[in-house]
Amino acid sequence: MTPIEVNVERVSGDEGGGRRHPNTCPNCRSHFRDDELRHSLRVCAQCNHHFAVGAMERIEQLLDPGSFVEVGGDLRAADPLAFVDLKPYTDRLLDAELATGLGDSLVAGSGKIVGRPTAVAVMDFAFMGGSMGSVMGERFCLAADLAVARRMPLISVTASGGARMQENILALMQMAKTVGAIDSLREVGVPYISVLAHPTTGGVIASFASLGDVVVAEPGALLSFAGPRVVEQTTGEKTAPDFGRSESNLRLGQLDAVVPRRELRGELAKLLMLFSPAEDEPTGDNEPLPTVGSDDNPIDRVLGMFGLGRKRG
């Protein structure tokens, strides 16, 4: 009998040294070409794992082609603290911009979903871990300003490790600033839809990301202020296997829905249809604006129709 030669494909996906290729599924270890992943919206065709999506690709996935117009794209972080850890903050900013092509961890602007106008604020974890700094906060507020000025909903997609330590108090201040921006949406009855992607943690989940009139998340995303390891170290107790994940957040009432990425654009389109008139419909510009806390607030009315309570801070 002649020996049979077998080619064994290395399934670990490790590039030596234990580093996994970014296109190898961490769950089932299937490996994909980049165009395959882009085509599948970066969802693993074998096991449904949701890979990270960059901000511009996310905008491409969600908005009508060619409809996106950016605001605040020229803003760049200052470095008033002249912060240096292993390297200067200014070097980190430059490296992140070269790696991602983005000026900061959030891209803001306006566009359309199935013809419905919306303001958008989309985070990119690849830019310094999606950290929350002064430019991220300012761009979020610019998107909120657009939503208020044009009376269109605001949709945010978050992926963040939390506040950017290199900006210290300036980063923490963005929590109050972004929450203030959401308040201004509420004052004029403009809806805010928050989409949480993996991971949304720290100062971002502790501020604007949790405050959507509708809050949805992608499957399996870690959504918690502190990660399970920190919680275990602090409490001395073992956390549940699904601690902080989308599914447990839904069970505990923190989310309205867990929406697979393939259905996200469709679900957002449905929400926009409920909340906003199409361009050819009357905009209601001449109607008096609803006052804060009014029973006749359009958001409350729509949420009531679906048995969803509006969360008030």
Give me the least distance between CB of 111 and Zn ion, in Å please: 30
Pick between residue 28 and residue 102 the one whose CB is nearest to Zn ion.
28
Given a contact cutoff of 8 angstroms between Cβ atoms, the answer to whether 54 and 126 are in contact is: yes
Pick between residue 12 and residue 27 the one whose CB is nearest to Zn ion.
27
Give me the least distance between CB of 251 and Zn ion, in Å please: 24
Give me the least distance between CB of 44 and Zn ion, in Å please: 3
**Which chain residues interact with Zn ion by CB under 5 A?**
25, 27-28, 30, 44, 46-47, 49
Long-range contacts of 294-300 (CB under 8 A, 24+ apart): 297/189, 298/189, 299/186, 299/189, 299/190, 299/191, 299/213, 299/275
- Report the alpha-carbon distance of residue 153 to residue 133 in Å, rounded: 24
Pick between residue 47 and residue 149 the one whose CB is nearest to Zn ion.
47
Give me the least distance between CB of 197 and Zn ion, in Å please: 17
Give me the least distance between CB of 219 and Zn ion, in Å please: 12
Pick between residue 43 and residue 259 the one whose CB is nearest to Zn ion.
43
- Report the alpha-carbon distance of residue 300 to residue 158 in Å, rounded: 24
DSSP 8-state secondary structure symbol assigned to residue 167: G
Tokens encoding 261: 């990425």
Pick between residue 28 and residue 114 the one whose CB is nearest to Zn ion.
28
Pick between residue 46 and residue 291 the one whose CB is nearest to Zn ion.
46
Give me the least distance between CB of 296 and Zn ion, in Å please: 48
Stretch (H or E) spanning 123:
strand 116-123
Q: Regarding beta strands 116-123 and 69-71, do their DSSP bridges make them parallel or antiparallel, or are they unpaired?
A: unpaired
Given a contact cutoff of 8 angstroms between Cβ atoms, the answer to whether 157 and 123 are in contact is: yes
Given a contact cutoff of 8 angstroms between Cβ atoms, the answer to whether 155 and 195 are in contact is: yes
